[in-house]
Chain A
Amino acid sequence: MLMRISVFKWAQRISLSAWIGIVLLTMHLVMAACATWLAPYVPTAIDTNNMYQSPSMLHVFGTDRYGRDILSRVIYGGQFALFISMVSAVLSVMIGSIIGVIAAYVGGFFDEVTMRVIDAIISIPGILLLLVIVTGLGTGTSVIIFAMVLSYMPGVVRVIRATAQEYVTRDFILAARLRGERVKNIVWVELMPNIRDVLLVEFAMRASWIVLSVSGLSFLGFGVNPPTPDWGLMINENRSVLVLSPWGTIFPMIAVATLVVSLNLVSDEVAKMFGIDRGVRR
């Protein structure tokens, strides 16, 4: 009973915009997870008798140049973006926070070297870094995740290091050290719980930026390979027939936009809840 009341209160405290975000995000997650059951057609099935159809009862969002059902492609198209973004965001925040906390705790030469490398990576404009990596390693899921982690992790390191530095000099850390705790324990048990809020905000923010980057990369043709359904790729493929048949471009656009809007709304609320400023995208 007590539990239920607190959840209810918590729900009341959340602003309307955050609720919109949560609902949209849940919709996207359900759509991606249940694509197999939700999509009315096979997303790659070619039907040359029904090319460039406008929305109808048969094809709710119309069809593209190969007669593929756009609704099915939009439903499936989120899988790749969401999968890559979530994995990359989790990895960036995990690796970034570990490096950041250790740099703050150990300090000295290790800190200096780490931060110089981090500064250098941040000094490469995001998309440039992604494209340089893609040139060197070719496209592919693991390469894209690697590239995303490499370009979004340094920002996490900076933020987490700055936050952890505030705690490193506190007495409870000194006490732990005098008790003879191991570095591993101090990092995990003493420092990590204190930066949990910042971690959550970093994760929420970076997830939405990574979705934007991933869709941009697919749009440029360096994401998944056709005929795999993907929003960025769909927009690129159907852009040339924007006038003749705008459906293939507009629906994936709405899909990307609603996903990023929902992530932004949710991360705004998370940041507000913990009283942390959102940074500039990098």
Chain B
Amino acid sequence: MVLFVFRRLITSLVTVLVVAAMIFVATEVLPGDVATAVLGREATPKRLASLRAQLQLDRPAPERYREWLFAFVQGDWGHSLARPHIEIRPLVIERLRNTLWLSGIAGVLGVAISLLLGIYAGLHRNKWFDTIVSTISLIGMSLPEFVIGSLLMLLFGVVWALLPAVTIVQPQATLLDLLPSMILPALTLIIVMVAYILRMVRSSVIDVTQSEYVQMAYLKGVPHRRVVWQHIIPNALIPTINAIALTVAWLIGGVVVVETVFNFPGIGRLLTSAVSDRDLPLVQALGLVGAFFYIGTNMIADLMTLWLTPRLRTQYWQNAHEN
């Protein structure tokens, strides 16, 4: 077990390094480097060359990659290109706080709601509740985040004017001030998340219900309530952990669009504005932070699945001995 956790940590670390390399290659080595981004496409070759020398872009890429990564790990994330006086790290951390709260609230509520609805729908397959929930989740899956967001904004922000339609609070505002502007973005994320996870939970519950051990439990006279709580739910939840992890990881991408829709001051909106400005150092930093959280969530999900399924653990040991 310890060995597995250790190996999983190492693979995650390697993945982060490879992802960092890919972000670096995409933004710095491919045509259209920082110098062209700063000076625009019509810059003279001479000015480009001098700026490249000034930014040390003429040095070999692997060397620059190593330095960039070391500096990043040590907390020196550099300065923004579009606004040179702004340091990237404090900016990202300030926005990250808002995003983490937003996605944290949405994640916890979304997972809870989809588990409840999914289990209920799966246990009562093809009844009216299941049909309604499945249809709504299909529609929820088919609507882009920005459509759901705009519709909610129209309903709650404009027609009924209950909640702020867009965030007008400063990014540094206290959580209490931010909370009202957080409701609609969080609701949007929850709707999309529930649509995805619910389907997984439902089909997983149905699979388990049809399994031999559940049939066996019914046949030997175990009461229905006990079968549901002791046999169906625990076994149905294990495969959904990965689905939940993937969806929570999707949140990291989803917030980019949702934050832009509601003008919410998180890392997502920061990223879209950084991309519009071609602010490469900022995009790199945000890309790394996003990938870090994404890889972390997936790792935790894998470890949790392993922890909850003893069968996988023995399988792993057998494989390890064979190899």
Contact = CB atoms under 8 A, between A and B. Distances in A.
Interface of A: 116-117, 119-121, 123-128, 131-138, 208, 212, 215-216, 219-222, 232, 235-236, 239, 242-243, 246, 249, 253, 256-257, 260-261, 264-265, 268, 277-278, 280-282
A126 B246 CA distance: 11
B253 A125 contact: yes
Contacts of B27: 132, 135-136
B247 A133 contact: no
A261 B143 CA distance: 8
Nearest to B203: A277
A236 to B, nearest CB: 8
B276 A221 contact: yes
Contacts of B22: 120-121, 124
B62 interface: no
Main secondary structure of the interface of B (DSSP, over half): helix
B15 interface: yes
Given A125-B291, A128-B287, A216-B257, A280 B18 contact: no
Interface string B37-69: 000000000000000000000000000000000
B150 A253 contact: yes
B294 A135 contact: no
B150 A235 contact: yes
A1 to B, nearest CB: 37
Contacts, number: 145
18 contacts: A116-B18, A119-B15, A123-B294, A123-B295, A123-B298, A125-B249, A126-B253, A128-B256, A131-B271, A132-B287, A216-B144, A220-B260, A222-B275, A235-B146, A236-B146, A243-B154, A260-B142, A282-B246
Given A124-B291, A136-B32, A246 B283 contact: no
Given A119-B15, A128-B271, A282-B246, A219 B257 contact: yes
Interface of B: 14-16, 18-19, 22-23, 26-28, 30-32, 138-139, 141-147, 150-151, 153-154, 158, 196, 199-200, 203, 242-243, 246-247, 249-250, 252-254, 256-257, 260, 271-272, 274-276, 278, 280, 283, 286-287, 290-291, 294-295, 298
A256 B291 contact: no
A124 B274 CA distance: 18
Contacts of A220: 256-257, 260, 272
A119 B291 CA distance: 12
A132 B271 CA distance: 9
A206 B278 CA distance: 29
Q: Which of A124, A219, A236, A246 has the most CB atoms of chain B within a 10 A radius of its CB?
A: A124
A131 B256 CA distance: 10
Contacts of B138: 261, 264-265, 268
A232 B143 CA distance: 12
Main secondary structure of the interface of A (DSSP, over half): helix
A216 B26 contact: no
A205 to B, nearest CB: 11
Nearest 10 CB-CB pairings of A with B: A120-B18, A127-B253, A260-B142, A125-B253, A261-B142, A136-B26, A280-B246, A136-B30, A125-B252, A219-B146
A131 B158 contact: no
B250 A131 contact: no
Contact of A212 (B28, B144, B150, B280): B144
Q: Which of B22, B151, B298 has the most CB atoms of chain A within a 10 A radius of its CB?
A: B22
Contact of B283 (A131, A216, A260): A131
B57 to A, nearest CB: 14
Contacts of B242: 280
Contacts of B153: 242
Given A128-B253, A132-B23, A282-B250, A253 B243 contact: no
Contacts of A126: 250, 253
Contacts of B143: 253, 256-257, 260
Given A136-B32, A235-B150, A243-B158, A264 B26 contact: no
Contacts of A232: 144, 146
A219 B268 CA distance: 14
Given A136-B32, A260-B143, 14 more contacts: A123-B291, A125-B249, A131-B275, A131-B287, A135-B27, A135-B280, A219-B144, A220-B256, A220-B272, A221-B272, A235-B146, A257-B147, A260-B141, A261-B139
Nearest to B244: A280
A282 B196 CA distance: 11
A260 B139 CA distance: 9
A132 B256 contact: no
A138 B32 contact: yes
A256 B252 contact: no
A154 B252 CA distance: 19
Contacts of B295: 123
A15 B271 CA distance: 43
B19 A120 contact: yes
Nearest to B12: A123
Contacts of A219: 144, 146, 257
Contact of A127 (B31, B196, B256): B256
B211 to A, nearest CB: 15
